[in-house]
Structure 1
């Protein structure tokens, strides 16, 4: 996957994304992921890869200072239209190159973003960089099994599914291992399709 291809794919996805990925079990999983998340009134929150704004429905943005970014202008415009009367700041931006100062946000949200960016390691690095010490990074995404054992079927389907704008083979344990000196895992729960879709909360270490 690359950004140029992703922009094309998500231009095509934008009119129908909510029909497929914000209903049914996806809707319930998103609700579970965010309605009980550790937001506090007045916090500065960054939503990375906001897409059509599905997560924003479960975040009480009226009590938060929310900035939402996405690389796809078409997806971003869908979110803007949904929340046109809110105080949310929407910006077109690359998750791999966040144009914010270090330690700018109390909470960073990454929903279904690590599985779509060309370089998930860089996306994690950027999230860690812009969150404050003791701040939280809330992830909701699809990952390979924790033991790293991917079925033959998934291995064969992985390059095909990637053409539609997402990766089903990222191993979170391998991904986060290089950053454990910077963050700690405070929550890791399965939300959908056994352990494929998980909610993970990372807290940035101090010092």
Structure 2
């Protein structure tokens, strides 16, 4: 099933409008290791990079100026902060920042060398449609790089995640998202393959996942 009950576009948009003023303060340090790891992985390929869920643009200054960056987000209040950051830091390698639905990307096929989505795939209504779009706009030989929470398959952490799920959806994401769901997507897409899956702090609750598109 591609969608998750209780997490729709309206819920997400409202949630991240509320998060916009405090997002960097609340999540900046918590997500820093994952952000920097995904940027380093993207820069091993370089070129034209799409950052999905660019948010306040907190990652943009960390990319090499040699790379060309395009950022999209569903939240206009978050993107206003990203635009201000680009102006303040004179990030002339940022081509454009746009409000856009990840399930309907407004780019031609094979547009990007890398697609980066940090802490995004559990915060969209239809993760499978989003992944299909990432693969569509990715050039052959390129990589999709995800950093995200992957839920436990059993045990106490699994129980806590399921109990917390209704609250998390109101805050704008789903805590129950198993690796099997990504593996099923890979199995349906013969041009895509898993390159790497690396646990990320804190406590390995997050993972960096790299998927390659065959040439």
Q: Which runs of 5+ in 2 are unaligned?
A: 1-6
What SS does the aligned partner of 1:18 have? helix
Instruction: Give the TM-score normalised by the residue count of structure 2.
Output: 0.87
Equivalences for residues 62-77 of structure 1 within 5 A: 62-77=65-80
Of the three residues 17, 22, 32, the one matched with 1:27 is 32
2:45–2:114 CA contact under 8 A, matched in 1: no
What SS does the aligned partner of 1:194 have? coil
2:45–2:113 CA contact under 8 A, matched in 1: no
User: Aligned residue for 1:15?
Assistant: 21
1:161 aligns with 2:168: yes
1:59 aligns with 2:47: no
Distance 1:18 1:72 in 2: 15
What SS does the aligned partner of 1:68 have? strand
Equivalences for residues 141-160 of structure 1 within 5 A: 141-145=148-152, 148-149=153-154, 151-160=158-167
Equivalences for residues 73-88 of structure 1 within 5 A: 73-84=76-87, 85-87=90-92, 88=94
Moved more, 195-204 or 172-181: 172-181
Between the two proteins, the alignment pairs up a number of residues equal to 201
Distance 1:40 1:151 in 2: 35
| Coordinate RMSD, CA, aligned | 1.6
What SS does the aligned partner of 1:187 have? strand
Q: Where has structure 1 moved over 6 Å in runs of 4 or more?
A: none
Judging by fraction of residues, say which structure has more helix: 2
User: Aligned residue for 2:204?
Assistant: 195
1:55–1:111 CA contact under 8 A, matched in 2: no
2:38–2:116 CA contact under 8 A, matched in 1: no
Instruction: Give the TM-score normalised by the residue count of structure 1.
Output: 0.90
Shift of 1:36: 4.7
For CA contacts below 8 A with separation 6 or more, give which structure has more relative contact order: 2
Shift of 1:197: 0.7
